[in-house]
């Protein structure tokens, strides 16, 4: 098991914590991370793109000209795909891009993402972040003290004061342990875990039987 230092919001050492080896010391397999990240990105796609086919384009009910005798090519509708203002052939239609990934694979990928941040020495455990009020300037001071530039901060639960203080700072994202995802971890170079979130993360894996 890995033992890491716990800091306060001014980055002064305030103790140590032992991280579970089956969560934070898992061998990283890029193909597993790639699969789960693709699944999470695909699930975010709206899939609402659409073009009109011949059945949907208005007009075209009358034959533009008679079949023979005009010297022009045959035409049955002015909404043909070869006409300006006509339909689109083989265009996109609404669809669901999501695909299934087994829960055990998703759980394993999350452990790998957490392990990768510990292995890269990009994991920081902070005892707590207490702000006097919901002001961006207060959180900016904490972020500067902790040396955060592009970081994902994981809180044990919803904190309105913390959320409102952090949402306007570029590069910093606040989430909760229950909403922790592989995609968000890998998008940020730094991972900050509030000490209370460690128990929630452990309980999350326990619920999944992992």
Asked if the model's pLDDT at residue 203 lies above 90, the reply is: no
Any idea of the CA torsion for 160, 208, 205, 155, to the nearest 10 degrees? 0
Q: How many structural domains does the chain have?
A: 2
Q: Give the pLDDT confidence of 88-99 residue by residue, as tens digits.
A: 999 999 999 999
Residues 148 and 201 reside in one and the same domain: yes
**Dihedral sign of CA atoms 190, 31, 197, 160 in order:** positive
Q: Are residues 84 and 116 in the same domain?
A: no
pTM for the complete prediction? 0.81
In a domain, residue 159? The reply is yes
Domain housing 124: 2-46+99-205
**pLDDT for res 209:** 52
Element (H, E) at 196: helix 195-207
Burial 123-143 (b: 16+ CB within 10 A, else e): bbbbbebebeebeeebbbebb
Is the predicted pLDDT of residue 210 greater than 60, yes or no? no
For residues 87 and 111, state if they share a domain: no
Q: Please count the other Cβ atoms lying within 10 Å of the Cβ belonging to residue 82.
A: 9
In the prediction, which pLDDT does 207 show? 60
Q: How does pLDDT run across 131-140, given as a tens digit for each residue?
A: 888 889 999 9
Give the residue from 194, 172, 135 showing the smallest Cα distance to 7. Answer: 194
């Amino acid at each position: 098991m890995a033992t890491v230092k716990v800091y306060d919001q001014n980055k002064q050492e305030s103790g140590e914590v032992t991280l579970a080896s089956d969560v934070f010391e898992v061998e990283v397999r890029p193909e597993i991370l790639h699969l789960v990240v693709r699944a999470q990105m695909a699930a975010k796609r709206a899939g609402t793109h659409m073009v009109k086919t011949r059945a949907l384009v208005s007009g075209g009910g009358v034959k533009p000209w008679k079949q023979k005798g005009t010297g022009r090519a045959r035409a049955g509708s002015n909404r043909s795909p070869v006409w300006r203002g006509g339909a689109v052939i083989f265009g996109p239609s609404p669809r669901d891009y999501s695909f299934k990934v087994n829960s055990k694979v998703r759980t394993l990928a999350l452990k790998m993402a957490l392990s990768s941040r510990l292995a890269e020495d990009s994991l920081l455990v902070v005892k707590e972040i207490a702000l006097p009020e919901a002001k961006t300037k207060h959180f900016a001071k904490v972020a500067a003290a902790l040396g955060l530039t592009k970081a994902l901060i994981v809180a044990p639960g919803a904190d309105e004061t913390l959320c409102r203080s952090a949402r306007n700072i570029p590069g910093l994202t606040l989430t909760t342990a229950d909403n922790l995802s592989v995609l968000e971890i890998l998008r940020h170079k730094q991972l900050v875990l509030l000490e209370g979130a460690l128990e929630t993360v452990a309980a999350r894996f326990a619920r999944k039987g992992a």
